């Protein structure tokens, strides 16, 4: 069992940090927190346009002293920014926690990745690339944990799917046992579909039986069984 939840949190935290730092397009990472003069491009088209090209190209990744580079870069950007227009723009309303959580991926988004990696898993095993198979399975569990965090009501079903169907796949991969893997994979596909049938939502009170997956044949997206039967 892989416990990779930490990564999910880091991803969320990183995302929040990225949001905080992304109100200006290409700031140097270290400069952004120090200089909250992050005028949105639309608000002050003239000043940043003049300042940015001069400021941003200066810290190329190849600079020998990456710590020193941002400070000269920041100053030119900071002084033209001292106008009232920029000050007004410099306090963008921070997103609330509720807003931040509302924009995290829901299960539909998680499932697109889940299914894609499930497809990768099959073709990795078909090609006897066990390391790739192991990697894909680990990534499935990571994205599943994002789903468990953002949609806690589905977490028990996801966890039970993991122990019933992904753990046997993990064992088969570790044993490099193709027979065992393929039978575990077939069972897992059935497990995917039975969860779809059992989960409901306000919009789909009859369940998600129409989302059917199958063992892919030619490519990863054949994992969708389009007729839903
Ligand atoms: C917790 C039960 C559960 C399990 C286990 C599960 N799913 Fe899902 N899946 C869902 C739900 C619920 C949805 C609908 C998402 C939504 O609410 O928006 C979904 C949606 C999907 C979609 C549609 C995504 C899209 O928008 O195109 C695919 C594909 C999918 N699942 C694949 C899989 C695969 C492959 C597996 C097994 C490896 C799997 N699912 C396991 C609950 C589950």
Q: Give the whole-angstrom CA distance, residue 79 versus residue 64.
A: 26
- From the list 208, 178, 192, 187, the residue with the least C-alpha distance to 144 is 192
CB 198 within 8 A of CB 207: yes
Residue 216 inside a domain? The answer is yes
* Exposure letters 100-139 (e unless 16+ CB within 10 A, then b): eeeebbebeebbebbbbbbbbbbbbbeeeebebbbbbbeb
Q: Give the whole-angstrom CA distance, residue 198 versus residue 191.
A: 11
Residue 97 inside a domain? The answer is no
**94 — phi, psi (to 5°)?**
-70, 145
The answer on 79 and 39 residing in a single domain is yes
156 lines ligand 1 (CB under 6 A): no
The answer on 218 and 106 residing in a single domain is yes
Gyration radius of the chain's alpha carbons: 24
The answer on 195 and 134 residing in a single domain is yes
Which one of 57, 91, 125 terminates a domain? 91
Who's near 1: CB < 8 A, 6+ residues apart? Answer: 162, 163, 167
> Can you give the pLDDT of all 229 residues of the chain as single tens digits?
444 443 333 334 443 333 333 333 333 333 334 434 444 444 444 444 433 444 444 444 444 444 444 444 444 444 444 455 555 566 788 999 999 988 999 999 999 999 999 999 999 999 999 999 999 999 999 999 999 999 999 999 999 999 999 999 999 999 999 999 999 999 999 999 999 999 999 999 999 999 999 999 999 999 999 999 9
The answer on 218 and 118 residing in a single domain is yes
The answer on 106 and 87 residing in a single domain is no
The answer on 211 and 133 residing in a single domain is yes
158 lines ligand 1 (CB under 6 A): yes
The answer on 148 and 128 residing in a single domain is yes
Residue 17 inside a domain? The answer is no
Distance 194 CA to ligand 1 centre (A): 10
* Exposure letters 39-72 (e unless 16+ CB within 10 A, then b): beeeebeebbeebbeebbeebeeeeeeeeebbee
Residue 19 inside a domain? The answer is no
Which one of 47, 62, 91 terminates a domain? 91
The answer on 79 and 143 residing in a single domain is no
Domain hosting residue 138, numbered range = 102-223
Q: Which residues pair with 213 in a beta bridge?
A: 224
Q: How many domains in the chain?
A: 2
Distance 109 CA to ligand 1 centre (A): 9
Can you give the pTM of this predicted structure? 0.68
Residue 12 inside a domain? The answer is no
195 lines ligand 1 (CB under 6 A): yes
The answer on 86 and 107 residing in a single domain is no
């Amino acid at each position: 069992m892989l416990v990779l939840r930490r990564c999910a949190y880091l991803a969320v935290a990183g995302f929040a940090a990225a949001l905080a730092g992304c109100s200006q397009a290409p700031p140097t990472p270290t400069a952004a927190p120090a200089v909250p003069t992050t005028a949105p491009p639309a608000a002050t088209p003239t000043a940043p346009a003049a300042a940015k090209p001069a400021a941003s190209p200066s810290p190329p990744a190849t600079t020998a002293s990456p710590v020193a580079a941002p400070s000269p870069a920041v100053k030119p950007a900071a002084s033209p920014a001292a106008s009232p227009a920029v000050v007004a723009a410099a306090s963008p309303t921070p997103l609330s926690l509720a807003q931040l959580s509302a924009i995290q991926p829901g299960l539909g988004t998680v499932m697109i990745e889940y299914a894609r990696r499930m497809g990768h898993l099959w073709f990795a095993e078909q090609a006897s690339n066990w390391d790739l198979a192991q990697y894909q399975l680990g990534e499935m569990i990571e994205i599943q944990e994002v789903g468990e965090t953002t949609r806690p009501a589905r977490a028990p079903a996801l966890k039970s799917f993991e122990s019933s169907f992904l753990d046997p796949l993990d064992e088969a991969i570790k044993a490099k046992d193709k027979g065992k893997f393929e039978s575990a994979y077939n069972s897992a596909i059935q497990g995917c579909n039975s969860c779809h049938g059992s989960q409901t939502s306000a919009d789909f009170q009859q369940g998600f039986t129409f989302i059917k997956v199958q063992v892919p044949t030619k490519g990863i997206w054949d994992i969708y069984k389009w007729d839903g039967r």
